[in-house]
Amino acid sequence: MSDRRPRPLIVPIFIPHLGCPHRCVFCEQKRITSQKDLPVSEEHIIGIIERAIHSAGFDPNRNPEIAFYGGTFTGLPFDQMLFLLETVFPYITKGLFRGIRVSTRPDAVNDERLKAIRHYNVSTVELGAQSMDDQVLTLSERGHSSDDTARAVRLLRQYGLSVGIQLMPGLPGDSADKFHSTVTKVIDLKPDMVRLYPALVIKGTGLARLYEKGIYHPLGLGQAVEICADNCLRLEDMGIQVIRIGLMSSPSLLEEGQIIAGPWHPAFGFLVRSAIYHKGIAPMLPGRGQSKSIRIMAYKLDIPLIRGYKNQGVKLIENRTGAKVVNIQAEDSITPGRIKVVNI
């Protein structure tokens, strides 16, 4: 069943590739984030935060956080790192934001940096781990090992920080089995949250060159949904929140020709959540040939998950059972994740 815990309200500030020691094979942050104006100025940062505070969706009761994403925050020159933190810190002291989160690389985490970010109320660090398989990390030109990730998680914990881990199924050399092992190792590290971003082939990346030479073969959409659904369930069963599945669609990423290949879908996360839901309700459906037509009753918020993207979920149920789904009805007495099926 899908995780229904509230998601944090995050106001992102993108610092594309800043602090990165090199370019990883799959990464094109400028296209992913649609941001071209560098370096990130004080005016730019304050503009983002002020717009967020004055937007209709801003609610201080949702414990909002300011996030620096898209680069290696703890790999920035020290002065630049402090400049970014000092620029946003007044919004923390005024009580408008609960804290700051940053994304970084596992090999850019050390005592000096963590002491500094703790001083400015950084509460969460998201590590771009991508894989816990050293061969996959080498082929993806990450420049760090799975041991670096394990060491970084331990150090972040020592500083009392919440830990997020970003994982990328479908990288060069990866497979469903290897990704399963990656998630087993991640579960052992007990992060607070995980993001799942299946690898896409984005124009201008090393991965695009490997793909064009026929050396790299990305996951198909169905495979990526299956891998993410299985592993999302495993993580959530162990109490680890999966806060994002699939990349956000930024305007420049959606420009024609920017995504060359790979399991891109505008509603990828929803496809995965719907696949998870359908795995859960499969034992509650009648066997094939047992019914001619059925009504399904479910918890109201589950109805879009049953229907699936463009009604694909209904077709799946009809194929599984051989019965026509006559209607799907909301029923308050039904627990989330469960259904009642009536023959009609």
Sites of contact with ligand SF4 (CB under 6 A): 17, 20, 23-24, 27, 29, 71-72, 105, 128
Q: Minimum Å distance from CB 247 to ligand SF4?
A: 12
Q: Minimum Å distance from CB 96 to ligand SF4?
A: 27
Nearer to ligand SF4, 72 or 258 (CB): 72
> Cα(first)–Cα(last) distance of the chain, in Å?
27
Q: Which residue has the tokens 């990656």?
A: 182
Quote the CA–CA distance of 308 and 305 in Å, as a whole number.
5
Quote the CA–CA distance of 170 and 223 in Å, as a whole number.
9
CA 170 → CA 179, 190, 220, distances in Å?
A: 8, 23, 9
Q: How many CB atoms lie within 10 A of CB 142?
A: 27
With a CB cutoff of 8 Å and minimum separation 6, the contacts of 109 are: 74, 125, 127, 151, 152, 155, 156
Of 272, 109, 122, 306, nearest to 197 (Cα)? 272
Quote the CA–CA distance of 168 and 171 in Å, as a whole number.
7
Nearer to ligand SF4, 29 or 35 (CB): 29
Q: Minimum Å distance from CB 141 to ligand SF4?
A: 8
Nearer to ligand SF4, 105 or 195 (CB): 105
DSSP 70: S
Q: Where are the alpha helices (DSSP H) in the chain?
A: 29-33, 42-53, 78-93, 111-119, 134-139, 146-158, 176-189, 206-212, 221-237, 251-254, 268-281, 303-307, 312-321
Quote the CA–CA distance of 231 and 222 in Å, as a whole number.
14
Judging by beta carbons within 10 Å of its beta carbon (0-12, 13-18, 19+), is residue 122 exposed, middle or buried?
A: buried
- The overall longest dimension of the chain from CA atoms, in Å, is 70
Nearer to ligand SF4, 202 or 232 (CB): 202
Nearer to ligand SF4, 101 or 105 (CB): 105
DSSP 279: H
Q: Minimum Å distance from CB 94 to ligand SF4?
A: 30
Nearer to ligand SF4, 28 or 65 (CB): 28
Q: Minimum Å distance from CB 201 to ligand SF4?
A: 15
Q: Minimum Å distance from CB 137 to ligand SF4?
A: 11
Nearer to ligand SF4, 20 or 281 (CB): 20
Q: Minimum Å distance from CB 218 to ligand SF4?
A: 17
Nearer to ligand SF4, 27 or 219 (CB): 27
- Which amino acid belongs to residue 103? S
Number of C-alpha atoms within 13 angstroms, CB side, residue 342? 10
Q: Minimum Å distance from CB 207 to ligand SF4?
A: 11
Q: Minimum Å distance from CB 104 to ligand SF4?
A: 8
Nearer to ligand SF4, 24 or 136 (CB): 24
